[in-house]
Each structure stands twice: as C-alpha cells, then as structure tokens.
Structure 1
Amino acid sequence: MTEWSYTVRVWAIRKRPYRKPYQLRWQVGTRPHSESFLTSGLAESRRAELITAARAGEAFDVETGMPKSRVQKDRDISFYQHARNYMELKWDDAPAKTRVGLAETMATVTAVLVKDTKGMPDANAARGALYGWAFNKRRWDQEAPEDVRRMLAWYSRNSLPVSALSEAPAVRKALNACAKRLDGKTAAASVIHRKRAVFHQALSIAVEDGLLTENPLHTIQWNPPERVEDELDPECVPDPAMAEVLLEAVAEQGARGRHLKAFFGCLYYGGARPAEIVALGRDDVRLPRRGWGKLRLSESRPRAGRSWTDSGEAHDRKGLKHRPRAAVRWVPIPPELVALLRWHVTVNGYAPDGRLFRTARGGMVQESGYGEVWRRAREAVLSPDELKTKLAKRPYDLRHAAVSTWLSSGVEPQLVAYRAGQSVAVLFRFYAKFLKGGDDEANAKISARLAQRRAPA
C-alpha cells in the first residue's frame, strides 16, 4: 500500500564528475531520494516540479519520492485496460447474470471514451466485440475472429487514459452513453441507474488503484432521467379471474402450451420467480391427494448464456435471490396448483434428472419458449384495446398477481414477504398500492371502534 507524506525537503543541485553530473537530492518523510541528469536544465526542471508540488500541498509517495500527480501519471493506463482489469476483478465472485450486466456497462462506456473517432468501428459491431470478447473473461483464451481482433486493437490504441476521467466532459460523455440505447432512444430508467452504479464502482476501483484521486461522480452535475417508480403499477396485474382464463389459454397453445400450464401455475398460485421453477424437481414438490401442498425452492437458474457461466451451461446455478446459497424456502400451494401439478406429472412424468418441466428435447425451458406461448395466450384472451396496455404483458406478472392476491386476502405482510422470497421493506415499497387497497376496510374498523367509545354506558 502506498505511503504518502507531506514532509518534503528539496536541496540544491550539486555537480559531480560522473556521466550524469547534475544530481538532485530531496527527502520525503525520513527517506532520502536522488536523481542524476545530463544537463543542469533537466535537473532544474525536476527540482522546480518537486518544489511546486510541495508548495501546493500535494502528497508525496515515500517509496518513489514523487508527488502524487507524477505517480498517477506514471501509473496511468487506458480505460479499455482498466475495464478489463475491473472485469477480471469482479468475475469469479459474480453470478453469470451479473457478469452480463457488468460487461454491458463496460462496453457502453468504453465505446465512447476514445481520443478521436478516426477509423472508429461501426457502433453495433463494436459493441458486440467489446461485450462478447473484450469483457468476457471466459473468452480471453480463445482465438477471436479477425474482424473482432481489429476492432479491439483499435479501442486498445484509442481509448482515453483513466486520468482523463478526472475531467467532467469525459464523465458526462460516459453517463450520456449509459442513458441511450444503440438506436439513440432513451434507455429505461432502471437500466440507466444500473449502468451508472456499475460505472461508479469501476471508478471507485480506479481510485483504489491510484489512477484517480477521487471518484468524479461525487462532484459532477448530471441529471439522469427520473428513475422508474418503485411501486408496482396495478395496470400490469391480472385479477384472479383473468389469471385463470390466461392459464386456460396457455393450455390451448399446442403441446408446448399444455406442458407449460403447470409452469405458469407455479408463478400464479405459488408466487415463485420463473428462474426458481425451471429446475423444479421431483423432490421439490409435496402433492397430497387433497388439501394444500408445498413447493421447496432452493436455487435459482437464470439463463445467462453458455459463455457467461462457469459450467458452460446456458442456465447459471445460484442460491435464492438475496438469500444465502444454502437457503431453502418452503411455499404452501393451494389445492388448485396441487391438482395442476399432479395432472402434469401424470401426463408428462419427470425428466431423467427428475425435473418437472423440460423442452421437447429434454432441455431446460427458456424465456424465448415460454414467452412465445404467453404472448399467444394473451392475444387469445385480451381485447385489441387490452393488448395495447401493460396488462399481464409478461409471465412475471403472474407472480405479481399472486402477491397482490395474498395481500388483498388479508395475509400478514411478513408472511407474504417470506412466501414471495422478499424482505418486508421491499414488499411495502413495491406493492404499496395494493397495501393501500385496504383503506376502506381499515377506516370502517376504526370508525366502529370510535363509535363504541361514544356509546352511552
């Protein structure tokens, strides 16, 4: 770790009978330093640099004897190289989906932090090369295609030094890039917020590495688009009647739809996330002949792509969201889902590895497959005007429907949060509008209680 000192003494230059006769001597803290020069002019120039830095109150590195500005200049690297170092630092401990997000941000920012645009590669192709090769550690040992190598070589040569980010214009340029999609339209506010957070962390690492004196995002004036409202929009959430109609419509979408009806049922009746259900197995369900059953949720299998996971599988393996890796969540499921799952097992059985849900080839179900089935089911059920709205637009909205149903049924928020795999704080913030839905009932109870106090004895 670098040791800094503000105690600096610079002595006069002395001449000696050597090949470099002009010697400059100075002291930082208690450590002496010296440097020899061919001419007195060079020696005077270095002496003036040291005296100017000391008078300006700049810290000096005890090890090298140089002022902080000089040390940072000597250490300076391109942002392209810093971004690769950052990816290497974060890679091993990051889930595959997180790796994807980090690489997307580094590609976005690196693409605009360049010295000039002469010979600059096409934006779409360059983004693919940066995202898929420069910032994907798993591919660093692979031979990239020739066109990719040319593009990455261009960015390696033309990338701004990290020190340039001490100037506001460069930082604003990067932030503006985070706020735009490739087609030039404004990105979703949640995406902007996520990319800014990653960029902030990369700059903080640069400070730790001595490449910057402070994180410039702490002082820069930049107003991003307003963040997405934390509260869930009720317009997205189907009511129980609509949810059941949609599940029936799913079953009408051919063999794949019939197979996926129970999958969507787990989202609606069990309030689970899709990534928690794709690998649900024989030992994860309790399906009594009558009454309530249970789902055992112990891991999440989000799809990130084979090139981003350590296993080389398309789906990553990770613990439940925001929970320790070994955490298990038991979720009670109503008789409707028990019956649906029992029917599913009777008709489809289990995959060789015990999974309930699989593709026609036995693979793990993917967003593209079940998303297409959901789109067709939605088109079959909703009116043309409803299709233009956000109502049940994503399969994930079935999970929102489950949580909102539990809340509106009067289930204690703490229990709802546990079953949904969320913290109580997130539940109150995200589902605030549904919690407010009980105001009339609460007001009636309060009025009744006040009336009791006013009644004559």
Structure 2
Amino acid sequence: MVGTREHAESFLTQGLADSRRSELMTAARKGEPFDVESGLPKSMVDQNRDIPWYEHARNYIAMKWDDSPGNTRRTLAEAMATVTPAFVKDTKGMPDARTVRSALYGWAFNKNRWEEEPPAEVAQVLAWFQRKSLPTSALTDRLLVKAALRALSKRLDGKTAAPGTISRKRAIFYNSLEFAVDAELLTDNPLDRVKWKAPEQVTEEVDPACVPNPAQAAKLLTAVRDQSKRGRRLTAFFGCMYYAAARPAEVIGLRVTDCDLPRRGWGTLRLHETRPRSGTAWTDSGEAHEKRGLKHRPRKAVRPVPIPPELVALLRWHLTAYGAAPDGRVFQTLRGGLVQDTGYGEVWAEARSRALTPTEFHSALAKRPYDLRHAAVSTWLSSGVEPQLVAERAGHSVAVLFRVYAKFLKDGDDAANAKISARLGRSV
C-alpha cells in the first residue's frame, strides 16, 4: 500500500515474487519515496520511464521543429548528429564518420523525412544506432558528457571547429538535456556539473580591411553592371545592400509596394519581409527559400530606410528595364524566380576581379557581397550620423552596433575630441 492505494503484482514463481518483495523492502529501508500511481519506488519508476538517447534526441527535434525556421532546423539536426555517436554502448560495426553524419543529419534528425523510406544503407545506420544507443539516464556519467563536448568541438576531418560553431552546438546540446530533465529522464542537467573550458568567443567586430570605401564600392557596382546581362539585372540588387544596408534576404523579398521612389531627392524602402535560403529538405513548403519577417523582429515589423538619390535612380532604372515579378518582387531571375546566392555570388566574384587591383583582389576587401552592408553602416557612422539612428536603419540594436562596428566607432575619436576641445575652449 502506498498512501491509501493498494497495489498488487503476480509472478510465475515464488522466487520471483520474493525477489521483487526484497527490492521493495530495500527501497523502503533506504527511505526512498514511492510513487502513488504505480506503487513502485522512484528508482524503479525512473528505469521504466528511461528511453535510449537516440529516441530522446528525435523527441527533442520533434519538440523544436514546428516553431523553428529552416536554418534553425538544420542547426538542430547538425548538433544532434554530432553528439549522438558519443552515446553508444560500443563502436563495433559503426560505419565511418561521414556515413554516420550523413544518415543522422539527413534522415534521423530531419523530421520532414520521417515518413519517407530511407535508402538501404541509411536504414542500416539508423538501425545500428537504435540497437546501440545508451539510455538517456547514462548521461549522469560526466565522462560521457565530456566525450560529447569533445565531439562537438571537432570537425569531420578531425580539426578543431570554429568557436562559434562549438558554442552554438553546445547551447543546443544543453537545451536537449534540459528537455530530458523536463521529461524526468534526468534529475538535473549534467552539463552544469561538468568542468569544461568554453572555446574563445568569435570576435563579432567587422574588420575594416573587408569594407570598401565609397570609391571602391562605386567601382564594384560599375563592374557588376558592365560584365553581363545578369550583372545589369543585379546592379540595383547590390545597390540596396550598399546604399540601404539591407541584408541579401531582405533584398530578395523586396516588393515594388515597399519602395517610395520620387523623381528627385531621397526615397524610402520599407523592409518587412525576408527570403532566407534554407534548402528544400528543411522547409515546410518544400521550397528552398522561406518567407519570414525581419531578423530578430516581430513578424509584422517594418523597418523604413531612407535611401539616397543614387539608389532611387538605380531602382527606377531597374523597374523600367525589367519590371517586377508576378508577385510584386523587385528582383527576379531571367525566368522570374527568386535570386539565388550562387548566382549573385558568381557575379560578385567577377566584379571583384575587374574592379580591384591584384593586391586588393587577393585581400579580404569586399570578399563577400555582405561586406557592402558593412560598408553602408561604416559610411553612415563616419559621416557623423548618430549611432542610435544608424542602428535603427540597419536593423540592429544599439548594443549590437557598438559591438560589431566598434572599430569604426573608434575612428571617430579624433573628431569627437576636436569637438570637445572646441567646446571646452569656448567655455574658458
């Protein structure tokens, strides 16, 4: 009897019944709490509830999936695929690392594929992990947890992963263990008890060596325009990144109705939609791009960005020459589709080879189209625009602006000092 409830269990032999009675008596002498519903001591209840880590990891993916965008789903799957091989009873019969990663990442932890029949070789790998996976309760062993941390610190080739990648995977691993605690598979999060030196944080500061100055940016845009038909179609695309500090995914989603393009003077872009590329395997729609709101903003948030006459002219010319896509998008491919990162990346690489000197070309200068956005923000800061206004137009918080563009803010020290000196001189 536990509380006011009686419990009974039948056994085939007297010996089995005596053994169970002995287990119950031992738990009672130790003062272990008993579960009213089952009539069993807590340790036995936990054993009955325990599931293999492989199953728990899939439950964690299922829990996170619906509320996660495609790129987050990929990151979750990558983290689970990295740590899961550390939680097996033995490695006998385990395939090579690349085969394992491909099966776990592409099938075991991709919920979109759970209803599909995997190829035979993938099915064998997944069946192996189902057989060999340790129970989730085994993660109370700190050495096991440390083995997982070592795994997420390495790339497939054995080299140390980037600090940012390690930190991101560790955060997901920690969250999966918190889910195990919530599911009463673990009493506490074992990572809290493991001594582990976190990797050095990736510096978020933009390197000024990557950022083109206005003259270099103008040459690059000209080189985009002059190289091909595809380049001409992308001139205003890159212009939005340089003159409006727009992210590529924001430019891809830009619509004609979002643009105020007067014949003279400054115009405005109202950014409110992004089209990040996640890959067809990770989206609910089966399309490579998702339709989402602004980064780190509520879904219906709008970010108005004043744009100079130079960009107004580029956009007006673009719309006159090419029109808009059927759904109202400003930019489209020759076939009316979404602009792809591979396509505009090739155009940008060719523009660099044409516009930059050999020394500049082999440097980090404007290596990525995204550096045009950095150039826009740095230009605004060096022009004396208040950081709060720069952050608002760029879609940053002020804290992120100060952290990411610290070097450009420091460049204004001399000008600030001169203003302070002038003020102090007038007050004497």
Q: Does 1:373 align with 2:347?
A: yes
Native 8 Å contact 2:167 2:199 kept in 1 = no
Map of 1:353 onto structure 2: 327
Q: Does residue 123 of structure 1 match 2:97?
A: yes
Instruction: List gaps (5 residues or longer) in structure 2.
Output: none
Aligned to 1:235: 209
Alignment partners' CA distance in 2, 1:364 and 1:203: 39
Gaps of 5+ in 1: 1-25
- Distance in 2 (CA, whole Å) between partners of 1:73 and 1:237 is 58
CA distance in 2, matches of 1:409, 1:167: 57
2:137 aligned residue: 163
CA distance in 2, matches of 1:90, 1:236: 36
Distance 1:106 1:175 in 2: 12
Alignment of structure 1 residues 388-427 onto 2, 5 Å: 388-427=362-401
The residue correspondences of 1:189-208 to structure 2 (distance < 5 A) are 189-208=163-182
Tell whether 2:38 aligns with 1:64: yes
Q: Flag the 1:172–1:291 CA change in 2: closer, same or farther, 3 A.
A: same
* Structural mapping, 1:267-278, within 5 Å: 267-278=241-252
Shift of 1:200: 0.9
Q: Kindly indicate whether residue 70 of structure 2 is the aligned counterpart of residue 96 of structure 1.
A: yes
CA root-mean-square deviation:
2.1
1:222 maps onto 2:190 in alignment: no
Alpha-carbon distance change, 372 to 39 in structure 1, aligned in 2, over 3 angstroms: same
2:283 matches 1:309: yes
Residue deviations 1:158-178, cap 9 Å, x none? Answer: 122211211112212222221
- Larger strand percent: 1
Counterpart residue identity of residue 180, structure 1: K
Q: In structure 2, how many angstroms separate the alpha carbons of the residues matched to 1:209 and 1:362? A: 48
- 8 Å CA contact 1:179, 1:224 repeated in 2: no
Which residue number in structure 1 is paired with residue 119 of structure 2?
145
1:264 corresponds in structure 2 to 238
1:451 to partner: Cα distance: 2.6
**Equivalent-residue separation in structure 2 for 1:38 and 1:160 (angstroms):** 30
Higher relative contact order (CA 8 A, sep 6+): 2
Q: Map Cα deviations across residues 414-447 of structure 1 (whole Å, 9 max, x no partner).
A: 2111111121221122222222221112222222
User: Structure 1 counterpart of 2:394, which letter?
Assistant: A
Distance 2:189 2:31 in 1: 20
Question: In structure 1, what is the Cα distance between the partners aligned to 2:403 and 2:283?
Answer: 32
Label 1:54 to 1:282 Cα distance change in 2 as closer, same or farther (>3 A). same
For the structure 1 residues 384 and 75, does the alpha-carbon distance in structure 2 shift closer, same or farther, using more than 3 Å as the test?
farther
Shift of 1:71: 2.1
> CA 1:335–1:126 in structure 2 vs 1: closer, same or farther (change >3 Å)?
same
The reply on whether 1:80 has 2:54 as its aligned counterpart is: yes
The alignment-based identity, stated in percent, is 66
Displaced runs of 4+ in structure 1, greater than 4 A? 29-59
For residues 387 and 10 of structure 2, the distance between their equivalents in structure 1, rounded to whole angstroms, comes to: 73
Q: Would you say 1:177 and 2:141 are equivalent positions? A: no
**More displaced 10-residue stretch of structure 1: 317-326 or 428-437:** 428-437
Which protein has the larger Cα radius of gyration, Structure 1 or Structure 2? 1
Quote the residue 1:210 is aligned against.
Answer: 184
State the Cα distance separating 1:47 from its structure 2 match.
5.1
Taking a change above 3 Å as real, the CA distance of residues 70 and 389 of structure 1, as seen in their structure-2 partners, is farther
- Counterpart Cα distance in 2 of 1:275 and 1:446: 41
CA deviation after TM superposition for structure 1 residue 85, in Å: 0.8
Q: CA deviation at 1:253?
A: 3.0
Q: CA deviation at 1:211?
A: 0.8
1:437 to 411, 415, 424: 411
CA distance in 1, matches of 2:196, 2:391: 36
Cα displacement (A) at 1:38: 5.9
Q: Partners of 2:23 and 2:358 in 1: how far apart? A: 73
TM-score of the superposition, structure 1-length normalised?
A: 0.88
Contact 2:262-2:312 within 8 A present in 1 as well? yes
In structure 1, give the amino acid aligned to 2:166: I
- Specify whether residues 72 and 353 from structure 1 end up closer, same or farther in structure 2 by C-alpha distance, changes over 3 A only: same
User: Distance in 2 between the 1:176 and 1:247 partners?
Assistant: 45
Q: CA deviation at 1:58?
A: 4.8
